Amino acid sequence: MVHIWFLCYSLVLLVTTASALDIQGRIKWNGVVGNATALGRAKAVLDDGKYSGSVTRSGQFTIYGVPEGTYILHISSHDYAFDQLRIDVLSDSPTPEVRPYLPATPLNPPVKALLAYPITLSAKDRFAYFNPPQSFNIVSMLSNPMMLMMVFGGVMMLAMPYLMKNLDPEALASLEPRSDQSHPTAEAQSAFASGDFKGGFAALMKAAEDTTNQDTSVSASVSQKSSRASKKGRR
């Protein structure tokens, strides 16, 4: 019994294979797509993937073992649009019948016009995908070095008057403009305003160093006066 079923299955498979055809065609390069690199990965597809064959670098494609029936062929490509075709595989014909097909139109009755076989298709247009505009991203803006320099410079310009108010009066008096040297704080403000942060920091360090030296001199002078006063008291 098993042998009989196996024999029947083999006969059906043989008949089906004998009536199946290999559908062949090619992509004709044109001004829309000129080569396989521009086309990218593409496939010739029957009935939304029921049977398919990849497009080679030469533009050729073959769909193997297509049984008797009526199919809609289209080229599946990410970027390019192609015409669709009606393919009729007949049991009494060694080649399929190829007809033009308009999407959303009835298959029957078929149009009378027949196209040449093997199939030749060319790209008709390139798909135009919608790219949404990029939204405002404050993190991306602040990661820009130029923007960071501008923000830092603005903060320093706004904070400088408050820093000057908090300085010791004696230190502030020592920073007054002199005829023999420039004002360190003014130099710092000018440097920060022009974007020269290195020069601004150097000017601030110079002002701080001058203030420290002046405080040291005042302390030494006070110590000397105290020492002299103590010596006079002993006498």
Q: What is the pLDDT of residues 215-231, one digit of tens each?
A: 555 455 545 545 554 54
Whether 14 is in a domain gets the answer: no
Structure-block tokens of residue 1:
């019994």
User: How many other β-carbons are positioned within 10 Å of the β-carbon of residue 214?
Assistant: 15
Within a domain: 170:
yes
> Are 170 and 78 in the same domain?
no
- The model's pLDDT over 141-151, given as tens digits with 9 standing for 90+, comes to 767 788 777 77
Q: Clarify whether residues 35 and 79 are in a common domain.
A: yes
Average pLDDT over residues 37-54: 92
pLDDT score at 49: 84
Residues 6+ apart with CB under 8 A from 174: 210, 211, 214
For residues 177 and 33, the model is more confident at 33
Peptide bond just before 96 cis, omega within 30 deg: no
Decide which of 59 and 194 is more confident: 59
Does 1 fall in a domain?
no
Q: Are 121 and 83 in contact (CB under 8 A)?
A: yes
Contact 54, 43 (CB under 8 A): yes
Given 103, 126, 149, the domain boundary residue is 126
Domain extent at residue 38: 20-126
Shared-domain flag, residues 39 and 77: yes
128: pLDDT confidence band, cut at 50, 70 and 90? confident
Q: Identify the bridge partners of residue 24 per DSSP, sorted by sequence position.
A: 62
Q: Verify that 43 and 87 share a domain, yes or no.
A: yes
The answer to the question of residue 5 being in a domain is no
Cα dihedral across residues 55, 61, 67, 72: positive or negative: positive
pLDDT of 61 > 80? The answer is yes
Q: Is residue 234 part of a domain?
A: no
- Domain end residue (candidates: 106, 126, 146): 126
How far apart, in Å, do the first and last CA atoms of the chain sit?
142
The CATH number linked to 85 is 2.60.40.1120
The type of residue at 158 is L
- What tokens were used for 119? 């199939």
| 118 and 53 fall within a common domain | yes
- Neighbouring CB atoms inside 10 A of 67's CB total 13
- Reading the block at residue 203, the tokens are 């000017």
Token pair of 193 as six digits: 């305003």
Please report which confidence band the pLDDT of residue 104 belongs to, taking 50, 70 and 90 as the band edges: confident
Is residue 223 a part of any domain in this protein? no
Residues 51 and 140: their CA atoms lie apart, in Å, by 48
Whether residue 75 sits in one domain with residue 32:
yes
- Which of 105, 126, 147 terminates a domain? The answer is 126
For residue 228, tell me if it sits in a domain: no
User: How many CA within 13 A on the CB side of residue 221?
Assistant: 6
What pLDDT, on a 0 to 100 scale, did the predictor assign at position 181? 46
Label the pairing between strands 51-54 and 69-77.
unpaired
